[in-house]
Structure 1
Amino acid sequence: MSREPANAVPHVSRRAVLAGAGAAAAVAALDGSPAMAQPARVKLRLLGTTDLHVNVMPYDYYRDKPDDTVGLAKTAALIKTARAEAPNAVLFDNGDLIQGSPMGDYMAYRKGLKAGEVHPMMAAMNALDYSCGTLGNHEFNYGLSFLGFSLAGAGFPVVCANLHKIDGSPLVKPTLVLDRDVVDEAGNKQRLRIGVIGFVPPQIMQWDQGHLAGKVQTTDIVDAARKYIPELDKQCDLIVALCHSGIEGGERKGGEENAALHLSRVPGIDVIFTGHQHKVFPGKDFAGIPGVDSDKGTLNGVPAVMAGFWGSHLGVVDLDLQKGPDGWKVAGFAVEARPIYERKDRQVVPRVEAEAAVAATVKADHDATLAYVREPVGEARNPINSYFALVADDPSVQVVSQAQLWYIRPIAATMPGLNDLPVLSAAAPFKCGGRGGPDYYTDVKAGPIAIKDVADIYLYPNTVRAVKVTGAQVREWLERSAGIFRRIDPARTDEQPLIDEGFPTYNFDVIDGVTYAIDVTQPSRYDGNGKLVAPDARRIVDLRFNGLPVDEKQAFLVATNNYRAGGGGNFPGADGSTVVIEAPDTNRDVIVRYVVEQKVIDPVPDNNWRFAPVAAPVNVTFVTSPHAAKALPKGLKAAPAGDAPGGFAKFRLDLSA
C-alpha cells in the first residue's frame, strides 16, 4: 500500500512504484483522450481491542462489584455501532487475552482446559467474529500447554513473527493473508488482500523463563518485521501490524520492549495496532515524543492506535483506499480510540450497555469465578491490618514486600549484572484513614484468605518494577518517606501530633532488607513535593544491611511498583532512569500468586524500622481506627488516648528509650 509517512524519510515499495507509474500514465493520457473512469475508492474500517486480560464482564472481581470501566461485553456495543457505520470493517485483537483477572486464574488454576473445551475469553471473542489476533506477553503466564488449549478454542487465527520454537519453526504462524470482499463507493464489489503480522515483547524470555526456557526463543521486533514484511508486501494490498508492544521514543538499540515507534519505520507497514502499556493513543499519553503525532494518531506518519486496556476502548482506523491501474493506495485516514465510559465530576458515566449475547457466552464461568474469588485460596496465620502502619512495621506492608521479593528474585537471577545484587523491597500502606475516614483501613482476619481480600491489601493496578540504586540513594529514598512525620520538639511537653495529614500514605515507603531508625526530632530533609529543603537534616539513622552500616556506593535492587519507579512521589533514585526490570504483572496479581503458592502466609512484621528514642519525655499522638485497640501490636509502646474528630481514635506513642 502506498503512503508517504509524515516527518519521516519516505520509502518506495513495489506497490508504490507501480501505482506511481500508473498515475503518470493516466495523466499523460488526459490530453486529447476520452474521459477516463474515476478510480475505485473503498472506505475500509479496521477495528481493534488490546489487553483484554480476561475481562469480559463489566465486573471487578477483586472488589466483588460491577465496574462500568471494563469488559469486552461493553466494548462489543462499540463494535456493533462501528460496524453499522462502516460495513467494510475488519476486527483484530492485539494480545494479552487469557491472564489478568480472577477469571483467568480460575480457568488456569481451578477449572483447567481440556481438548475440545473453549476458554471463556475465546467464547466471547468468537461471538464477535474477530478476523485475527496476536500473542501478548501474558499469554505465557500459565505455560505453553495451557496456551495451546486456549488458542485451540479460538474461532480466528493468531499470528506472531518474532517467536519461534528452539528448532526454528514458528510457534504460531508469523503472518497471514486475509482475502476480503468489500464494496466500493460506487457499490461495486472489490477484493482486498490484507496482510497481517504480529509481535510480542522479546522480554517474555525473562518474565516467563520458567515456562519458556529451552522451548521457544524470541527475536527483536524490528528485525522480525524486516524479515517477513518484504515477502508479505508482494502478496498483499495492505499490511496491518498487530504489535503487542508500546510506544517509546529514543534511539533504537534492539530488543526493545516498547518498539512500536521503531516498527513504524519498517517499509511496507500501513497500520499499526499497538498496546501492552495500558494507555490510549491517539491522546495525551504520548504527547511530545519525536515522530509521534498524538492528535492525528500516527507513528512516523503511519496510522496507529492503542485501545486502552480491559476493554476500556475500541481502536478505530478508517482508511480511504484508492485503486489505480496497478494497485491500491491510502488516500486518507482517520484514527480514534472510542471509550466505553467517561468521567464527570469524578464519577464514572457509562457510554454503552453490555451486549447481552456476549455476556451470555461467559455466564457460567463468570458465576464460577465469583464463587472462586469468594472462597479461600490460602490462609493468613495472623491478622493483616493497617491500623498502625504509620507508626510501626506492619503486616499489610510486610506481605506486599514478601510477595515482591518472591517475584523479583528469580527474575533478577536470570539477568547478568543483576543476579549478584542484593534485593530489597519497597512498599507503602494504602488504606490508612485520612480522607477515607475512620473505616478506611485494611482489615483481613486471620484464617482463610480469599482473592478479593487482596484488594483490601493492595488497592491499585500497579505493575511490578525493580530499580538499581546505590546505598546512598536507599538512604535518600527513606529520607523522602520520613517526610510523613511532623517534627517533634523534645523541649515541648504539650501534645504534638506525629503524622502530617497532608502527606499521602502511599508515599510512606518502608524498605525491607535493611534496618534503620527514624529520628523525628530532626526536620524533614524533603518537603511534601519531594524537594530537598533541609540539606543538613538527617532523619534516617543506623541504616544497616546484614548488620553492617550500608556502604553508600554499594548497588542494590529495589522491588517496587511502576508508579514509584517511574517517578511517582519524586523519590531520589526513582525517576524512571534507574529501572532495570519492568515486569508485566500487577503487584496485586503477584500477591495472589504468592498466597496460592505459599498456601499459608504469616506476614509477621520483622520490625526492620523503628523510631529513634527521644531522651526528653514528649507527648506524641496519632489517630487511627476506633477498632485499632483490639489489634495493638506486641512491643509497640502505644496506648488509647480518647476519641479524635471525625470518628477516629487517638493514641499516645511513647518514644522514650
Structure 2
Amino acid sequence: MSRRETLQGGVALAAGAALLPAGFAQPAKAAAPRLKLRVLETTDIHVNVVPYDYFRDGPEDTVGLAKTASLVKAAQAETKNSLLFDNGDFLQGSALGDYIAYKKGLKAGETHPMIAAMNTLPYVCGTLGNHEFNYGLEFLDHALGKIEFPIVCCNVERVGGGNLVDAWRLFEQSFEDEAGERHVLQIGVIGFVPPQIMQWDKAHLEGKVTALDIVAAAEKHMPDLLDAAPDLVIALCHSGIAGGEPHGMDENAALHLSRIAGIDVILTGHQHLVFPGGKAFDGIPGVDNVRGALNGKPACQPGFWGSNLGIIDLELERNGDRWRVADFHVDPKPIFERTPDRKVVPKASADAAILAAVQADHDATLSYMREPVGASASPINSFFALVMDDASVQIVADAQIAYAKPLMAQTEWKDLPILSAAAPFKVGGRAGPAYFTDIPAGPLALKNVADIYLYPNTVQIVKVTGAQVREWLERSAGIFNRIDPAKREEQPLIDPGFPSFNFDIIDGVTYGIDLTQPSRYDLDGKVKAPDAHRIVDLAFDGRPIDDAASLLVVTNNYRASGGGNFPGTKSTVVLEAPDLNRDVVVRYIIEKKTVEPKADGNWAFAPLPPDVNVTFLTAPVAAARRPEGLKAEPAGDGGGGFAKWRLMG
C-alpha cells in the first residue's frame, strides 16, 4: 500500500466512524503497522574478489567479496525484507585491479571483473570511494558503464556544472510487514566521498571536477531529496567516524553528517575499521560504540577487503502517513575468526557465481604477477620497518634516486642534492599479523615488487628547503606515541590511527627521533604542539642541515599533491613523471639483475632510559627474521595474533 493509499484510507475510516449510531461501540484502534527491514553493507572491497593473496601467491581466508557474498545470501534468507548497498572503494587496491588498469586495460563496453562480480549480487545502489578516482575519470566511466545498479555521490561536481553521477536516487520498494501485509516505501539514497580526492588524485581531477565539503553537500541536496517524500533516507558515506567539531572539508565526517535532519541511516567506510566495536571509536561524544549509532542514528562500518558484512536490522513503524525507525540492531558479521593460538577459522565459503565471473582475469593476474624481474641476494621484509631503518624501504629509496639523477641532470636543478622519500606499507596494524612483506633471498617476481610497493603512485619530484625537510620528518614522526621517560608501566610505541604510508623515511639525510617529545602535528597534519621538536641531529653530508638550502625530494603523486598534508610537499613540483614508483623499482632490479638491499641506518630513535618499557607489535615469525642492529627483544603475546616486542636502550 502506498503512502497516498494509506492516507486516503485513514480519511475514509474517520468519515465512516462519524456516521455510527449513538451508543454504538467504537472499533478498537488498529495497531500501527510495523515491518522489519535489514540493511546490508559492503565497503572498501578494493578489488579483493577472490580469497587469494596475490603477493604471497596462495589462498587467503581473510579477504574476498566471494566470501562476503555467502554472508549476504545467508543474511537475506533470514528475513523477509532486505536491501544491499556498496559504500565505495571497489575499483583499486589489489593486484587484480592493477592488472586491469595497467596491463590489460579497460575499453568502453568492457566489463571490469570487480563490476562483473558485483553484478552477481542484488545491490540496490552504491557510492564512490576516493580510490575510484585513482585511474582517472575515463577509466571510471568505462567501469561504471557496465554496472547494473545506480551509483550516487552528491559532493563531486563537474567543472562547468552538474554532478559527476546522480547526487541521490529514490527507490520504490515493496516490503512485507509482521502481519503479512505489503507496503510500498520510497527509499532515498544519497552518497558522499572525502573531498580530499582533489589532492590525492589532482593529476586526474584538476580542471575536470570539484569536490564539496560532505556536510555542505548534504545541506545542499537533502532539501530536494526530502521534497521527493522518502519514507527512509540512507546515507552512503564513504567517510570515517571522528570526533570534534567540523572544520570544513573533513576527511572523516560521518559523525558530523549524522546531525543533518532527514538522514535516518548512515553506512560508513574509508577507515578500514569495524563499527560498532572498534576501539578507535571509544569515548567519542555522540558515538554509541556498543549499539552502533551516531547521534542516535543507526550506523555501521564493516571493515575492508570483504572482511565483514555490515548488517543493520531496522524496525520501522508507520505513524499516519510516514514511517519512522522505531528500533534497530547493528551487528557486522565477519568472514573469519582467529583462535587463541592465532589460527584463522573461516566463517564463510566462497560464492561460486562470483568466482566464475572473475576466473579468467584472476588466472591472467596470477600469470602477470609471476613474471620474473631479477633476484635478491638477501631477504626483504618489513617486520621491524617502524622501529629501525629497513631494507624494504631502502630499495624503494635507492631505486627512486637512481631514476631521478639522469632526469635532473638535464634541468636547471641539476646541481641540487637529491633526497628520496619512501614509506613502509605492510606493517600489520589493522590488516592483521600476516600483513607484512616477507620475501626470501632468491628470485624476484613482479608480485614481490608489488608486495613492497602496493599503490599505483607515480613519481614526482619536489624542491624544498632544509627547514621543510625537517617539518616533513616531524609530520612523519607523528606515527609514534609520546613516551614518558619517568613512567615504568608499559607504553605502546605506535599510534594505531596513523597510517604507515604517511611514515616517510627521507634518505640522503641522517636524523634521530626523540620519542619523549609530543608529536608536533596531529593526525590531519595540523600543527598541535608548536614548541615540540622530535627530529634531532638532522644532517646532510655530515653537517647540520642548512634550513635555507634548496634540495630535491623524490616522492610520489599522492604526497606531492598534498596527501597527508605534509609541510613543503606542495611547494614546487619540478617533475611529474608518467612512471609508477613500482615500475621504477622493477627497472632498478632488472638493470642490476641481482640486488642486495641493505638499510643504511640513516635514522634511529634518540636514547631512552633503560628501564622505560616501550612496546610494539609485529608478526610471530619476526623472531626468525631478526635483522642485525635491532635494539629490541621479544616481550610475549601481543594479542590478535601478534607478537609483542620491547625496545631496548
Residue aligning to 2:395:
399
Q: Which one-letter code corresponds to 2:284 in the other structure?
A: I
Residue aligning to 2:295:
300
The separation in 1 between residues aligned to 2:565 and 2:305, in whole angstroms, is 29
Q: Which one-letter code corresponds to 1:165 in the other structure?
A: R
Residue aligning to 2:116:
123
The separation in 2 between residues aligned to 1:309 and 1:220, in whole angstroms, is 24
Superposition deviation, residue 373 in structure 1: 1.0
Superposition map of 1:189-588 within 5 A: 189-235=182-228, 236-284=230-278, 285-345=280-340, 346-376=342-372, 379=373, 385-386=379-380, 396-401=392-397, 425=421, 442-443=439-440, 445=442, 449-455=445-451, 457=452, 471=470, 511-516=505-510, 543-545=538-540, 548-550=543-545
Pick from 57, 76, 80 the counterpart of residue 87 of structure 1. Answer: 80
Superposition deviation, residue 74 in structure 1: 0.3
Change (3 A) 1:316 1:554: farther
Q: Is residue 380–residue 600 contact of structure 1 (8 Å, CA) maintained in 2?
A: no
SS of aligned partner of 2:170: strand
Change (3 A) 1:611 1:194: closer
The separation in 2 between residues aligned to 1:251 and 1:593, in whole angstroms, is 38
1:169 aligns with 2:162: yes
Change (3 A) 1:610 1:78: closer
Change (3 A) 1:426 1:229: same
Q: Is residue 387–residue 625 contact of structure 1 (8 Å, CA) maintained in 2?
A: no
Deviations 1:12-56 (A, max 9, x none): xxx9xx9xx99xx99x99x98421222211111110100000111
The separation in 1 between residues aligned to 2:569 and 2:395, in whole angstroms, is 21
SS of aligned partner of 1:132: strand
The separation in 2 between residues aligned to 1:128 and 1:161, in whole angstroms, is 24
Deviations 1:94-130 (A, max 9, x none): 0001100000011111111223221111111111111
The separation in 2 between residues aligned to 1:475 and 1:205, in whole angstroms, is 24
The separation in 2 between residues aligned to 1:582 and 1:297, in whole angstroms, is 38
Deviations 1:608-637 (A, max 9, x none): 65799xxxxxxxxxxx99999xxx9xxx9x
Deviations 1:259-290 (A, max 9, x none): 00000000000000000010000113311111
Change (3 A) 1:256 1:559: farther
Q: Which runs of 5+ in 1 are unaligned?
A: 1-14, 408-421, 482-502, 519-523, 531-539, 562-576, 584-591, 613-623, 637-657
The separation in 2 between residues aligned to 1:627 and 1:261, in whole angstroms, is 42
Deviations 1:483-520 (A, max 9, x none): xxxxxxxxxxxxxxxxxxxx99x9xx9943443489xx
SS of aligned partner of 2:115: helix
Query: TM-score scaled to structure 1, two decimals?
Result: 0.66
Q: Is residue 248–residue 259 contact of structure 1 (8 Å, CA) maintained in 2?
A: yes
Deviations 1:197-240 (A, max 9, x none): 00011000000011111111100000010111122123210000
Q: Which runs of 5+ in 2 are unaligned?
A: 404-417, 428-432, 457-461, 481-492, 495-499, 520-534, 557-563, 571-578, 590-594, 605-621, 630-649
Change (3 A) 1:207 1:177: same
1:151 aligns with 2:144: yes
Residue aligning to 2:125:
132
The separation in 2 between residues aligned to 1:474 and 1:341, in whole angstroms, is 38
Q: Which one-letter code corresponds to 2:253 in the other structure?
A: A
Residue aligning to 1:566:
none
The separation in 2 between residues aligned to 1:475 and 1:189, in whole angstroms, is 60
Pick from 97, 102, 105 the counterpart of residue 104 of structure 1. Answer: 97
Q: Is residue 424–residue 556 contact of structure 1 (8 Å, CA) maintained in 2?
A: no
Q: Is residue 116–residue 358 contact of structure 2 (8 Å, CA) maintained in 1?
A: yes
SS of aligned partner of 1:368: helix
Q: Which one-letter code corresponds to 1:316 in the other structure?
A: I
Residue aligning to 2:619:
none
The separation in 2 between residues aligned to 1:337 and 1:271, in whole angstroms, is 15
Query: TM-score scaled to structure 2, two decimals?
Result: 0.67
SS of aligned partner of 2:186: strand
The separation in 1 between residues aligned to 2:232 and 2:509, in whole angstroms, is 60
The separation in 2 between residues aligned to 1:582 and 1:189, in whole angstroms, is 58
Identity over aligned residues, as a percent?
50
Bigger Rg over Cα: 1
Superposition deviation, residue 400 in structure 1: 3.4
Aligned residues: 513
Change (3 A) 1:43 1:381: closer
Q: Is residue 42–residue 310 contact of structure 2 (8 Å, CA) maintained in 1?
A: yes
Q: Is residue 125–residue 151 contact of structure 2 (8 Å, CA) maintained in 1?
A: yes
The separation in 2 between residues aligned to 1:169 and 1:406, in whole angstroms, is 45
SS of aligned partner of 1:316: strand
SS of aligned partner of 2:102: helix
Q: Is residue 36–residue 316 contact of structure 2 (8 Å, CA) maintained in 1?
A: yes
Change (3 A) 1:627 1:300: closer
The separation in 1 between residues aligned to 2:336 and 2:266, in whole angstroms, is 24
Superposition deviation, residue 163 in structure 1: 0.3
SS of aligned partner of 2:263: coil
Change (3 A) 1:393 1:181: closer
Change (3 A) 1:323 1:423: farther
Deviations 1:569-590 (A, max 9, x none): xxxxxxxx9977999xxxxxxx
The separation in 2 between residues aligned to 1:510 and 1:55, in whole angstroms, is 27
Q: Which one-letter code corresponds to 1:206 in the other structure?
A: Q
The separation in 2 between residues aligned to 1:598 and 1:458, in whole angstroms, is 8
Q: Is residue 184–residue 190 contact of structure 1 (8 Å, CA) maintained in 2?
A: yes
Change (3 A) 1:282 1:387: closer
Q: Is residue 515–residue 608 contact of structure 1 (8 Å, CA) maintained in 2?
A: no
The separation in 2 between residues aligned to 1:140 and 1:578, in whole angstroms, is 19
Q: Is residue 471–residue 556 contact of structure 1 (8 Å, CA) maintained in 2?
A: no
The separation in 2 between residues aligned to 1:227 and 1:108, in whole angstroms, is 34
Superposition deviation, residue 340 in structure 1: 0.5
Cα RMSD of the aligned pairs, angstroms, is 5.1
Change (3 A) 1:328 1:67: same
The separation in 2 between residues aligned to 1:352 and 1:281, in whole angstroms, is 20
